[in-house]
Structure formats: structure tokens, C-alpha cells
Amino acid sequence: MTDRAPNDGSRASNDAAGAAPAPATRASSRTRRALTRLLRTPLALLGTAVLAVVTCCALAPDLVAPHDPGWVAYVGTGDGRLTLAQSRSLPHPPAFGDPFFAPLGTTAAGHGVLTELVYGARTALLVGLAAALLSSLVGVPLGLASGYYGGWVDEGIQRVVDVLYGVPFLPFVVVLVAMRGASTTNVVLAIAATAWLNNCVVVRGTTLSLVERTYVDAARAAGLPTHRLVARHVLPDVLPVAAVLLVQDAATAILAHATLAYLGLADVTTASWGAMLQRVQATGHVFDAPWWLLPPGLAIASLVAAFYYLGHALSDVTEVD
Amino acid sequence: MTRFALRYLLRRLVVAYATLLVVMTLLFVLLRAMPGSFVSAMTTPGMTTAQTARLEAAWGVHDPLWMQYLRFLLNYQTGNFGWSPTMHAPVAAVLARRLPRTLVLFGAAFLACYAVGPLVGMVLGWYRDARGGTLALALSLFVYATPVFWVAWLLVWLLDHRLGWLPSAHMVTQFPAFDVAPLPVALDFLRHLALPLLSVAAVGWVGATLLVRPAMRDAARSDYVDLARAKGLRERTVLFKHAGRNALLPVTTSAALALAFLVDGAVVTETVFSWPGMGRLIVTAVLDRDYPLAQAAFFLVAVVVVVARLGLDVAYTYLDPRLSFGGRER
């Protein structure tokens, strides 16, 4: 029963492609076929599920979180003050009922760990997607140009890439962020500034192999203008590669952001999982508050792994390695 | 043939040198782009204006920018890295002490990752369609997705705080009760090396696994594997000796990328374990605003990366005859 639906879907799209072999239909049916195959891979399902949960948290944290970000254990959201005994009991392990309710315990400042976790989802998702999109927007066109035109364009772009590959990533980001200030925007820019290199090299390789195909030669001989040739005959086969790269970039960006936060180089005023871990360390509770240490790390790992899973499933489906 | 090889080598050398020039320029620009003159990081509120002016004159802040740039380039290329205001020592001396420590830790970590990773990759690629295959892949990817410093904390908690087996900070015992003789000191050093090494390797092995796994799929479909099976060889022999060896190629050609991973790991791991190496030096120097030291440390890391990449690139062209010298296509 569960197996039938995707089978029918793919057969229907095959029929559609056979009936009308126009390029647009062919491309869309291929996408649909890839999507149905994607939804049958367990890794892709797992990744999508995690991503859906994180997206919900990022879009409406106030609906998911048990408290608002200003909530403090014992005194709630009012401006009451903690007694000495109460503040000594912080960070507090998970508590249900009196004197307060905090499903994953509290931080040293009395905020709920689960609440901070939910509110940190937005930063993680934003950093991942923004850095990935930026590095794709730079890397993919440059890789396309490099592979398609060849000659001095290729030589120029590849020399720049070669030179930048020699610059170590994390030390570079550390210096950049330390000098330009540790705002989330700067962190994203710094990550994207180095992440596009890989996209450029991989897309160039794919383009090189595509340009030698007969149908590209035929299109060129038919007098198709360059921009249309690239858009209709090269780009559609580059896009699967670019999609895999995009997903992997998102994963590395989230990890890099967490690492920078640990080093004290991310914005600690916005809620983020990396900043949570940094606070665990700054307050000296790494080894005595597991309820506070474990959730942010697991959250980072789950989201990054979700992107890796999607990337792997995508490359399996589109037969990119 | 040799003429082409020489030309290729020369070309690689020029690119390597250009890379270092760009890194130097980048450092120079970054230094000037930060708010205030970089002498302001060295002044204290108690200084008189005359003292500040003398400091500025000594560092040449008022010279024209092109002069500063040329002097900077000249100094760096002659190995004159200046004086560190926080360490109160020549920068070159500080770096010479720090670099070997990082190389030891990450040389060992590199070996550990590349001993374990490819083996796991071979098995995962071989039993790709088996029931546990996807689960094993999912688990390895999850390990690869964990932040290194967090894994390091968990390992410290387990092996130091819980079990008390291994020390979790510094490179040697600070005030040792044992005699300072070669053997006890070496053992003490190895005990301190174990936890940082374990943390880097715990995450790092997956990189090699992910490279070997797809290569193994292609190897498993090949004729020589069928032949080896037809000869009646044991499955294990076919896996590791016949298919596995051929699947190792992508690992050797991408060791340069692994190098980058290790440099990033150095910064984080050394910070967690107070390992007095280069990575930690960069972070503390940047945070303490010791710019001469930060600049030179960054530059030295770039030199190590560039030289290693150059060496690996040249080595491959000799190792793999299919990569032609001269006009090599990547």
C-alpha cells in the first residue's frame, strides 16, 4: 500500500515525458521522479523530519517553547528577585511542578534550557541557509563561467581559488570576526567567504564534462546565444550538484558558527546553541550540569546531521558523488 | 618528460609563493582595517602622550601606507616577525617553540584518523545494501556532525572526571613529583597527548570513511572482484586486499583537504585542552590584541598549509602516472 503511491507517480511522470518531449516537461518530470525517489530513502525522511521540527521552532518559538525567553526559575516573568538559597540551586536539574516547571532544567541564570534551545533554532537555521545561499550564489556562477569559457577566464578564476585555498579557514574567520565585530552577519559573511571555493571547483568540474557532450555542441552549432545555451543545456545538469553542495555548506556553516561561539567570537546576545554551550563553559558547569550541556550539542549535531542526510540522499538520487 | 615536470613544479612554486603574498597582503589590510591604530592596543591609560608618540614612532604608524606595506612584506620574507607585546619575546622565538607541539598532536591525530576511517569506509561500502548499512552510515554522519569541542568535553568528563584515567589539560604535568628523566617525561607527555588525540580522532575518522565508501561501491561492481571471488578467495581477502586497496585512491588525493580539517581542529582542540600550540596561540593572541603575534602565527599556519599542499601535489604526480605532468586537468 505504501509502496504503490510513489510507483504510480513515477510511471505517470514517465508517460508525461513520453507524450510531450519538450525540454521543460522533461526537466520537470525528472525533478518529480527524483523527488519521489528521495522520499523513499530513509535518510532523506529522517533529515526532513528533523528539519521540519527545527523550522517549526524557528518560525514560531513562542508556540513551541514552554516559557518566554525572559522567564526565570522560581520568580517567573515578573521582576521578583531570587533568594540566596534559590540562586545557589541554579543551574537546576529538570523539574516538574513546584516550585517551578522546566522540562530540561535551567541554566545558571535561571532560564529554561528547553526555552533557550527552541529560541536558538532560528539562528542556527538562518546561519546555515544564509551562508549556504551566499556561497552558492558566488561559487556556482564562477564555476560555470570557469568551466564553460575556459581559457583566461578559467585560468584567472582558478588561480584566485588556488590562492584562497591556501588560507586556513578557522584562523581566517577568527581574525576576520575579531576585527569586524562578532555579529551574526559578520560570522555568516566570514563563513561564506571561504565556503564558496569548494562550490566553484566542483561546479567547474561538472561543467567541463558537460561542455564536451554532443547536445551542447549541437546547440552551439544551431546558433543558440550563450546565456540561453548555459541556462537550458548546462545549468539543469549542474543544479543537482549545486543542490548537494548547498546542503553540505549549510551543515558546515552551522558547525563553524557553533565553533566560533565556543571561542567567544559569535554574538552572545542573540540566542543560539553555540552561545548556550559557551555559557555552560563560561559559568564553569561543563562537568556538573549534563541537562544543560547535552541538549545544545545534540541539537547542533541533529541539525547538521539532518543536512548531511539530505545531502547524501540527494547525491544518491541524482547519482552525484 | 622531465622538462614538463620541471615546468609543472615551477608553476606550483609560483602559485605557492603568490598565495603567501596574498596572505601577507590580507593580514596587512586586516590590521589597518580595524578600528584605531594598532598601537592603541599596546598603550595603557597611564602612559603619557610622549610615551605613546614614541611607541607610535617605533612601530612606524605615521609613515605612508605604501612604505609600511613594503616594510611589512620585506620583514616577513626575511623572517623578521617583530616583538610580541604580551609574551615579551621575539615573535619568531614564540612560534618556534609552539609549532612542533601542534605538529606532534595533529600528526598523531592524522595517522589515527587515516588508520581507522578507510577501514570503516571499506566495510560500509561493501555491505552498502545490507540491513545495517544505512543505519551505520547514519550513525557515522551523526558523529561527523557533532562539534569537536563538545565531544572533547564528554570525553574529558568520562575519562578524567569519572574514571580518572587520563589528564585533561596541558602538555605535561606542571610541577611533576617524578624525576625529570627522559622516560618518565615521555610517558607523562603521552598520557597528556591521549585525550586531545582521542577527541580529534573521534570525529575526524568519518571524513576518510565518506571518501572510501562511494569508491568501494564502484570497486565492488568491478570484474577483478568477480575474478577474485571466482578463484575462491575468502570474502575478507576480497574486501580488504582487492576492492579496498583500489578504493583508497580518493583518500590519498584528498589528504590536502584533510589538512584543512586538522588546522581547524587545532584551534578548537588546543583551546579545550590548554595545549600550548599554534591554534590556541592564534585565538589568545587575537583576543589579547597582540597583533604582531597573531599576524605571524596566522602567517605560519598558512605557510604550513601551502607547503604541505605543494608537497602533496608534487608527490601525487609522481605516485600516480595517470596524472600527467604539465597541463594537468583537475
Q: What is the pLDDT of residues B244-292, one digit of tens each?
A: 887 887 777 677 666 766 777 778 888 888 888 888 888 888 777 777 8
Average pLDDT along chain B: 81
Q: Of A127, A174, A201, which to mutate for an interface test with B (greatest number of B Cβ within 10 Å)? A: A174
CA dist., res. A154 & res. A142, Å (int) = 9
pLDDT class of A10 with cuts at 50, 70, 90? very low
Nearest CA in chain A to B11: A159
C-alpha neighbours within 13 Å on the C-beta side of residue A147: 25
More confident site: B325 or B202: B202
Q: Is the overall model pTM greater than 0.80, yes or no? A: yes
Contact B141 A305 (CB under 8 A): yes
Number of other CB atoms surrounding residue A84 within 10 Å = 7
Taking residues A31-60, what's their average pLDDT? 87
Q: How far apart are CA B201 and CA B179, in angstroms?
A: 31
pLDDT tens digits, A204-224? 888 888 888 888 888 888 888
Asked if the Cβ–Cβ distance from A170 to B30 is below 8 Å, we say no
Q: Please report the ipTM that was assigned to this predicted complex.
A: 0.83
Give the chain A residue whose CA is nearest to the CA of B17: A163
pLDDT at B35: 57
Q: Which of A138-142, B17-21, B27-31 has the lowest mean pLDDT?
A: B27-31
Average pLDDT over residues B115-123: 89
* Three-state secondary-structure class, residue B98: helix
Q: Is residue B118 over pLDDT 50?
A: yes
Q: Which of B45-49, B146-150, B188-192 has the lowest mean pLDDT?
A: B45-49
pLDDT at A4: 37
For chain A, what is the radius of gyration of the CA atoms?
Answer: 24
Enumerate the residues of chain B whose CB falls inside 8 A of the CB of residue A264.
287
Answer yes or no: is pLDDT of A109 > 50: yes
CB of B255 within 8 Å of a chain A CB? The answer is: no
| Residue B22 in contact with partner chain A when CB distance is under 8 A | yes
In whole angstroms, give the CA distance from residue B19 to residue B309: 11
Q: At residue B212, does pLDDT exceed 80?
A: yes
Q: What is the pLDDT of residues A58-84, one digit of tens each?
A: 998 888 888 888 888 788 777 777 778
Output the pLDDT for position A12.
Answer: 38
**CA A65 to chain centroid:** 22
Most confident of the following: A32-36, A247-251, B60-64, B130-134: A247-251
Distance from the B141 Cα atom to the nearest Cα atom in chain A, whole angstroms:
6
Supply the pLDDT for residue A319. 65
Cell numbers representing residue B306 in the block: 601551502
Write the residue in B34, B142, B306 that is nearest to A166 by C-beta. B306
Q: Smallest Cβ distance to B23: which of A166, A263, A296?
A: A166
Distance CA B49, CA B54 (A): 9
Q: Is any Cβ of chain A less than 8 angstroms from the Cβ of B61?
A: no
Res. A247 pLDDT band, cuts 50 70 90: very high
Cβ of A166 and B141 within 8 Å?
no
Query: Who contacts A306 (Cβ-Cβ below 8 Å, separation ≥6)?
Result: A46, A47, A48, A49, A50, A51, A54
One DSSP character per residue, A45-113 reads HHHHHHHHHHHHHHH-HHHHSSS-TT-BTTTBTSS----HHHHHTPSPPPB-STT--BTT-B-TTS-BH
Query: How confident is the model over B238-245, as a mean pLDDT?
Result: 84
> Which cell numbers hold the place of B104?
606532534
B 23-42 → A contacts, CB under 8 A: 23, 26-27, 30, 33-34
Mark yes or no for CB contact A174/B148 under 8 Å: no
Q: What is the mean pLDDT of residues B77-94?
A: 84
Q: Is B83 helix (H, G, I), strand (E, B) or coil?
A: strand
Closest CA–CA distance from residue B176 to any residue of chain A (Å): 25
Q: Is B309 left (phi over 0), alpha (psi -120 to 50) or beta?
A: alpha
* pLDDT cut 70: percent of chain A above it: 90
Q: Which domains does chain A have, with CATH numbers?
A: 58-74+87-319 (1.10.3720.10)
Cell of A255: 558547525
Average pLDDT over chain A, rounded to an integer: 82
Q: How far apart are CA A230 and CA B235, in angstroms?
A: 47
Q: Do A179 and B267 touch (CB under 8 A)?
A: no
Q: What is the pLDDT of residue B313?
A: 73
Q: How far apart are CA B188 and CA A56, in angstroms?
A: 50
Across the interface, whether the CB atoms of A263 and B271 are under 8 A apart is answered: yes
Please tell me which of A49-53, A106-110, A283-287, B170-174 the model is most confident about, judged by mean pLDDT: A49-53
Q: Which of A46-50, A212-216, B88-92 is the most confident on average?
A: A46-50
Residue B327 clears pLDDT 50, i.e. is over it:
no
B37 pLDDT tier (thresholds 50, 70, 90): low
- Least reliable range by pLDDT among A45-59, A180-194, A246-260: A180-194
- Average pLDDT (B4-12) is 76
In the numeric block, the cell 565518506 is attached to B210
User: Containing H/E element for A233?
Assistant: none
Assess whether pLDDT exceeds 90 at residue A308. Answer: yes
Report whether pLDDT(A136) > 90: yes
Domains (ranges, CATH) in chain B?
A: 3-89 (no CATH), 99-327 (1.10.3720.10)
Categorize the per-residue pLDDT at A3 as very low, low, confident or very high, splitting at 50, 70 and 90: very low
Q: How many CB pairs under 8 A join A and B?
A: 136
Residue that wins the pLDDT comparison between A256 and A320: A256
pLDDT above 70 covers what percent of chain B?
87
pLDDT tens, residue by residue, B291-306:
788 888 888 888 887 8
A274 to chain B: nearest residue by CA? B147
- Chain B from 293 to 322: CB within 8 A of any A CB: 294, 297-298, 301-302, 305-306, 309
What's the confidence (pLDDT) of residue B321? 58
Whether residue B174 has pLDDT greater than 60: yes
Q: For B147, which of A162, A176, A255 is closest by C-beta distance?
A: A255
Considering CB atoms only, which of B138, B150, B154 is closest to A309?
Answer: B138
The single-letter code of the amino acid at A217 is D
Asked if B263 reaches chain A (Cβ–Cβ under 8 Å), the answer is yes
Q: Is the pLDDT of residue A17 over 50?
A: no
